[in-house]
Amino acid sequence: MLSEFNNDALANMVKANPELETIIQTIIADNKRTTSMFVHELRNPLSLLRGTIQYIEMKHPETAEYKYWSQLQDLVNDMERMMADASLLNTCNTLNKDIADLIALITGIKNSFMPQAITQQIDLSLIIEPGCESFFHSYHCDAPKMKQALSNLIKNAFEATKPGDFIHIRLNYIPGNEPVLPKLMIKVSNNGLPIPEDEILNIFVPFVTYKKGGTGIGLAVVKKIVDLHYGSVSVVSKDDLIEFTIFLPL
């Protein structure tokens, strides 16, 4: 995965040579096609495997009593879920950028989660630091994908909190010093369950999850979308505060 340093370097290169972004997007699109073909080709034998298992059980009902037989179907289900997750990651590989009002977008996200916040008795708030509004009102990005990334972070925060806790979304502008570009900061924090230190290292890695029933895709999607915008995302977890911070270059 790209580090914040690598993303800063890429952002500076694209700023100096706008044609470079077209080249990068072409490479990403080619990788997307290859992944799509790979997932498609895997679906065919997997469907045959599922059908064969069902046929054997229909012809020989006693097989359902065999030890480990049910695990075959579970494994097929797991593989199908993993392919669906791979397809989801793959759809995040390319961007359609345009000028977007991120304050309006984030306000809309907050409002969409407000019924859940009221039901779960969570203090959900949006804090906009003075002087940063103009930078957020006009930002070149893929708005639907940014909405997906931020929604995933807020959804995760709800899963970690309990009645009486808070979820705060904070927006700010961070001035730059050459060669570091100025940045927009989007911070999603909550005071719910802390993240164990050994889990933080792999928290953005695809298919790695520590939640029961989780797929390990939500935060991986966040990381991929932010990376494609030449930004960075990080997490800090303390006993009474968990902070996910996104930096987006200007």
Q: Is residue 3 part of a domain?
A: no
In terms of domains, do 61 and 169 share one?
Answer: no
Tokens of 46: 């997997």
Mean pLDDT to the nearest integer, 2-19: 68
Nearest to 128 by CA among 186, 174, 195, 167: 186
Q: Which amino acid is at 213?
A: G
Q: Is residue 1 part of a domain?
A: no
Q: Return d(Cα 26, Cα 11) in angstroms, integer.
A: 17
Give the pLDDT of residue 118. Answer: 94
Residue carrying the six token digits 């304050």: 103
Tokens of 11: 């952002």
In terms of domains, do 86 and 126 share one?
Answer: no
Q: Provide the domain count of the chain.
A: 2
Task: Examine the pLDDT at 19 and tell me if it is beyond 90.
Answer: no
Q: What is the pLDDT of residues 94-151, one digit of tens each?
A: 778 899 999 999 999 999 999 999 999 999 999 999 999 999 999 999 998 899 899 9
Residue carrying the six token digits 């889990």: 199
In terms of domains, do 121 and 87 share one?
Answer: no
Q: Which amino acid is at 180?
A: V
Range of the domain at 67: 19-91
Tokens of 102: 């991120």
Among 91, 118, 135, the domain-final residue is: 91
pLDDT band at 80; cut points 50, 70, 90: confident
Q: Please give the share of the chain, as a percent, with pLDDT higher than 70.
A: 84
Which range is least confidently modeled, 15-24, 46-55, 168-177, 226-235? 15-24
Q: Return d(Cα 214, Cα 83) in angstroms, integer.
A: 15
Tell me the chain's radius of gyration from C-alpha atoms.
21
In terms of domains, do 125 and 80 share one?
Answer: no
Among 48, 66, 91, the domain-final residue is: 91
Q: Return d(Cα 226, Cα 231) in angstroms, integer.
A: 5
pTM of the complete model:
0.69
